[in-house]
Chain A
């Protein structure tokens, strides 16, 4: 299990970085509780297509969001190299299905940039910022609040 802290010793933010369809994304490490290998999930009836189902996390029922599907890259077929990033956000535990985690990276405020005003890309609404690196790499910061279906989206 990773430690939950947003600032590292150098006063920078730490992020978990991962790849999706050849693009780099990241999440504030403070929101991440642990990273697990993929295990088959139980299907949730009537769920949006980006909900892979629910898994058992030490006795708690946790929904797994397929990030690829959620960000508009199409549904992924989970394999051994997929991981589930367990996050805790606003009291809700959510698993994020992602390709192998690539890195833990540090960045300071100077490296953060707002998202350019792009046309209506499905991914746009889930990305709250860009983190740039000297080597030209760009990380897209994901906003967890937007990922889960809102109550209206869950059909009742």
Chain B
């Protein structure tokens, strides 16, 4: 069927939603006391995919969906008990269906091996043969040989014909379109009025069609009514002319039409009244089709977001100009400016809300990942998802799929112990991986934790030493050892390919998370499991920043990392050796970092008598005091990519545009602190892991 591409695309979008509700439904079916409606919904999802796939002639998809649907139908009609074994197959069918949809979308060859294997399993489960999908031939007796001259059709409707909304007139119309026809009504059976019963049929017609017409064509006309009327088809021959048999009962066709046409929907008069108000009807129809949501091209939202970014900048410029001309004390001007600022904020929030989507979209895909990893490693495991309604920017959702996929696989492969070990340790044989999300102080926190054995730090150190990542005997804290997992080259390809087949290490995960402006940390307790925490910004578009002065440059420090600002008394400052300086703050000794030197803006460290110390804390709980020349302002800044037209800069996460139209760089405190902290052997590698 020639279907335009946009319909195809629409179908695949719909498939995505159907596959999601299918997978959800299957999971719900594993809960005790699930709603029966769930099975119906699951069945409908498979059924709708089949129906659409048929429209696009996606044969493999139709075949598989049909078989899957049949099994689901057996479950819903209690002919197949959805025990763990059956549900496992259902899950795999759901995965396979998703793969087939994916292949069809990419116009790839479907994976028939996977499909065939599952079809066999479905057959075994249901223990039924493949009947029931055949095409049932029409029951009409088509035995008479096709005559050249024509056909005589005798047609007597029964009550069901009328009750089912069929119309003898429509059928006669259809016959008349096949060729020259003579229609005769036999009203001889109509009783007298006193004997008449409303729901009995007494009219019969004889239609004589001339021309070479195959009886099959006639059968098509009566396709819907063959069981609720008497039909006789006989070849037209000189000796069996119907006119000779029943001459008295013939009524001319035109009269018949005139009588019957009052009920004909195609008649002008029948719709005169309703046609008077087509406007609201049409509007309603559109509303019914569209529902409560619309699909918007992401580019349009992005453009809107960009313009709002420009608005925020223009507003900043305006307020700077107002300052310059000395109008900032004017109450009206200030109020007007405040109003614009507030509106800009609200518009920005609204657009961000449009872009925000629940993490559910990516979390749900992880069930399959876990299932596959669990099968590949022969470790029974389950996935618990929490807080999947937590919303983040849509761009982030898409870019979280790969890192989370890898982390889930990592949790099963490296986190969970094998069944025997778990039993020896008194743990349930089935391991648990928990994927959770929550909003936490302006950020989104996503955690992947397992109840496995925790990080074997001795082994990690061994591997790191053997691969030359650290010098043998390097003194490292447990946290630092855990960090080694993120070094490029820590995980070898052979190790991960067993389940992921991709040779992706945690270093790539870390890089992807950092590219999103996020952080990743590990917390591990031996024997109890490990937790990977990802902290992400709510949006990739704006951040609340502290504007700082550094030499002749203005730079931005994300406010989320700022703990406090200090102008310490000289007595609180201490040198450590040749280069080290620390500030004592409420009992803590915090290392001081001269940002000007870090960024190469000055060769000599600035005197601590001038400037301000900004205490920042990284996600890995490291603290440092950044020495800057001054704090200028605190405001929301629009994040602009530095990489798009230039490239990555160490210690800088992005750029923004200030009120005067100039670019300011946004500092990445985490990277700065890590690059300055502690072990010299570790640092360059950690930094290169970020690039």
Return chain B residues, CB-CB under 8 Å to A1.
none
Return chain A residues, CB-CB under 8 Å to B310.
59
The contact of A59 among B651, B657, B665, B690, by CB within 8 Å, is B657
Interface residues in B289-314 by Cβ distance below 8 A to A read: 306, 309-310, 313
Bound CA span A151–B646, Å? 9
Given contact pairs A59-B313, A93-B645, enumerate 15 new A-B contacts (beta carbons under 8 Å): A40-B662, A45-B599, A45-B601, A45-B665, A46-B599, A46-B650, A53-B663, A56-B661, A56-B663, A60-B640, A60-B645, A61-B645, A61-B663, A155-B650, A156-B648
The 9 closest A-B pairs by CB, nearest first: A156-B691, A45-B599, A42-B663, A154-B647, A63-B646, A61-B655, A93-B645, A54-B663, A61-B640
- Closest residue of chain B to A94 (Cβ to Cβ) is B645
B423 within 8 A of A: no
Return chain A residues, CB-CB under 8 Å to B221.
none
Return chain B residues, CB-CB under 8 Å to A156.
648, 650, 687-688, 690-691
Known contacts A42-B553, A45-B601; A55/B649 CB under 8 A: no
* 0/1 string, A144-156, CB within 8 A of B gives 1: 0000110100111
Return chain A residues, CB-CB under 8 Å to B313.
59
Interface residues in A47-62 by Cβ distance below 8 A to B read: 47, 51, 53-56, 59-62
Known contacts A42-B662, A59-B657, A61-B655; A154/B648 CB under 8 A: yes
- Closest residue of chain A to B310 (Cβ to Cβ) is A59
Q: Give chain B's interface residue range (CB within 8 Å of chain A).
A: 20 to 34
- Closest residue of chain A to B654 (Cβ to Cβ) is A61
Taking the closest CB of chain B, its distance from the CB of A147, in whole angstroms, is 12
A5 within 8 A of B: no
Interface residues in B535-561 by Cβ distance below 8 A to A read: 553
Interface residues in B9-60 by Cβ distance below 8 A to A read: none
Known contacts A45-B649, A61-B644; A55/B687 CB under 8 A: no
Q: Which B residues have a C-beta under 8 Å from some C-beta of A?
A: 306, 309-310, 313, 553, 598-601, 640-642, 644-652, 655, 657, 661-665, 687-688, 690-691
Return chain A residues, CB-CB under 8 Å to B599.
45-46
A36 within 8 A of B: no
A42 touches B649 (CB 8 A): no
14 contacts between A and B (CB under 8 A): A42-B662, A42-B665, A43-B601, A44-B646, A44-B649, A44-B665, A45-B649, A59-B310, A59-B313, A92-B644, A93-B645, A154-B648, A154-B649, A156-B648
Taking the closest CB of chain B, its distance from the CB of A31, in whole angstroms, is 14
Return chain A residues, CB-CB under 8 Å to B641.
61
B647 touches A151 (CB 8 A): yes
Known contacts A42-B663, A46-B600, A156-B687; A62/B645 CB under 8 A: yes
B651 touches A45 (CB 8 A): yes
How many chain A residues touch the partner (CB < 8 A)? Answer: 27
Return chain A residues, CB-CB under 8 Å to B665.
42, 44-45
- Closest residue of chain A to B691 (Cβ to Cβ) is A156
Taking the closest CB of chain B, its distance from the CB of A32, in whole angstroms, is 15
Q: Which A residues have a C-beta under 8 Å from some C-beta of B?
A: 40-47, 51, 53-56, 59-63, 92-94, 148-149, 151, 154-156
- Closest residue of chain A to B643 (Cβ to Cβ) is A61
A47 touches B649 (CB 8 A): yes
Bound CA span A156–B645, Å? 16
Return chain B residues, CB-CB under 8 Å to A53.
663
- Closest residue of chain A to B640 (Cβ to Cβ) is A61
Taking the closest CB of chain B, its distance from the CB of A33, in whole angstroms, is 12
- Closest residue of chain A to B309 (Cβ to Cβ) is A59
B655 touches A54 (CB 8 A): yes
Return chain A residues, CB-CB under 8 Å to B651.
45
Return chain B residues, CB-CB under 8 Å to A151.
647
Taking the closest CB of chain A, its distance from the CB of B646, in whole angstroms, is 4
Taking the closest CB of chain B, its distance from the CB of A23, in whole angstroms, is 27
Taking the closest CB of chain A, its distance from the CB of B475, in whole angstroms, is 27
Return chain A residues, CB-CB under 8 Å to B649.
44-47, 154
- Closest residue of chain B to A93 (Cβ to Cβ) is B645
- Closest residue of chain A to B595 (Cβ to Cβ) is A45
Most buried by B among A54, A92, A148: A54
Return chain B residues, CB-CB under 8 Å to A93.
645
Bound CA span A106–B645, Å? 29
- Closest residue of chain A to B667 (Cβ to Cβ) is A45
Return chain B residues, CB-CB under 8 Å to A63.
645-646
Bound CA span A47–B642, Å? 13
Return chain A residues, CB-CB under 8 Å to B645.
60-63, 92-94
- Closest residue of chain B to A45 (Cβ to Cβ) is B599
B601 touches A54 (CB 8 A): no
Taking the closest CB of chain A, its distance from the CB of B351, in whole angstroms, is 16
Bound CA span A56–B664, Å? 10
Return chain B residues, CB-CB under 8 Å to A40.
662
B600 touches A45 (CB 8 A): yes
Bound CA span A60–B599, Å? 22
